[in-house]
Amino acid sequence: MTPALVLLAGLSTEAFAASLNIDLDQATITSIGGDPDELDTLLRDEIESRLQLEADPELMEKLARANVQAVRGMGVDYASNPKVFAFGLSVGTAVNGSGFDMFSRDDSLLPSNGFTAQAGIMAGINLGVFKPGDDALIDRFMVFTNAMAAHPMAGDFQADVWTWGLHGQYAIVQPVKTGVFTWGGVDATTGFDLASYSLSLAQGTPIDGGLGTWDATGTYVVKARATTIPVEFSTSASVPGVSMWLGLAGDLAPGARAEREVSLSGDVTYDDDPDVVFGNVGAKITERVDVKPVGGRLFTGFQFDIVAVKIYTQLNLSTDKSVGMHAGIRAAL
């Protein structure tokens, strides 16, 4: 049993514990000409490689930071300047620590970088609709909310994603139209997002030890949770059919963490005759990293304007080495 490890460093907290128990029947293995020590060594090496029994706080921190970025801007419209409402659907992803290499994997069950995905349905309303007339001040306020829960498959894993956010946007400088060109003014946006992303092993994972195979079944879950508060300033420009926007933000995540929970067990069976059982293996891991990232972010995007329909994409680049992208379709009036 590896003793639990607790570290406090700056804005992160790390905790880790792991155990691996291999119980082999030496008489059965030697009776077919096998070497119990060799099987034990091969199984142990392969299990430690596949399950990553060593602590990996760097990867856990990357997962937590990526989850913070995955929902950035997903629940807000930065360019349509709606006078009544906005409504849309979007999907997005973020990665931390590996640039645009979002899908990097190796032989381990864990991803080799900090990667999360999110989706959301967004709805917004201009507060001016509650007070018709020429009240320019209230017309400057938009309130947005976004939410989503989904359970897609991701390879051998069942993914569970959910998010909820609430944001307010105020037009500090109102849009200015000159001919076919419209400058969108300057908007200030803030609010909060709650985001969760988890991967659960949906089936057993066989691990080969040369002479025999461990049929590992049980729980293997990787989770990322975040509560985030963005403070954003943005501007936009449009001509008929196309809009673009650019913004700067300060991001605070008062509650962001990543966790790994593993509890796998099963028999080790002879490769040439699965009815022959060599023994059993059990592995347990708990790992958690809490972070409170505070940083800056540049975001930009563009959309095709087809009357009230908007087809858009947005890119987020953060000072904590996170890259996020999302895209979707919206309607705004």
277/279 Cα distance (integer angstroms): 6
Q: HEC states along 55-116? A: CCHHHHHHHHHHHHHHCCCCCCCCCCCCCCEEEEEEEEEEEECCCCCCCCECCCCCECCEEE
Confidence tier at 8 by pLDDT (50, 70, 90): very low
Per-residue pLDDT, 38? 92
| Residue from 112, 122, 62 nearest 92 by CA | 122
Confidence tier at 112 by pLDDT (50, 70, 90): low
Q: What is the DSSP string of 45-66?
A: HHHHHHHT-S--HHHHHHHHHH
* Higher-pLDDT residue of 55, 17: 17
Contact assessment for residue 64 and residue 46, using Cβ atoms and an 8 Å cutoff = no
- Whether the predicted pLDDT of 19 surpasses 50: yes
Q: Which residue segments constitute the domains of the chain, with CATH numbers given?
A: 2-332 (2.40.128)
Confidence tier at 209 by pLDDT (50, 70, 90): confident
Mean per-residue pLDDT of the chain = 87
* Higher-pLDDT residue of 324, 153: 324
Confidence tier at 2 by pLDDT (50, 70, 90): very low
Dump pLDDT digits (tens) for 257-303. 999 999 999 999 999 998 999 999 999 999 999 987 678 999 999 99
Q: Mean pLDDT over residues 188-197, rounded? A: 94
223/250 Cα distance (integer angstroms): 25
Confidence tier at 4 by pLDDT (50, 70, 90): very low
Q: What is the DSSP string of 282-296?
A: EEEEEEEEEE--EEE
- Whether the predicted pLDDT of 313 surpasses 90: yes
Q: Which of 1-10, 148-157, 199-208 has the lowest mean pLDDT?
A: 1-10
Q: Look up residue 11 and give its two tokens.
A: 């804005």
H helices of the chain, in order, are: 26-31, 36-51, 57-70
Range with the largest mean pLDDT of 64-73, 235-244, 286-295: 235-244
| Residue from 311, 322, 324 nearest 79 by CA | 311
279/260 Cα distance (integer angstroms): 26
Neighbours of 324 (CB within 10 A): 27
Contact assessment for residue 85 and residue 111, using Cβ atoms and an 8 Å cutoff = no
pTM score of the predicted model? 0.83
Residue 67: partners with Cβ closer than 8 Å, 6 or more residues away: 94, 116, 118, 195, 196, 197, 224, 225, 226, 256, 258
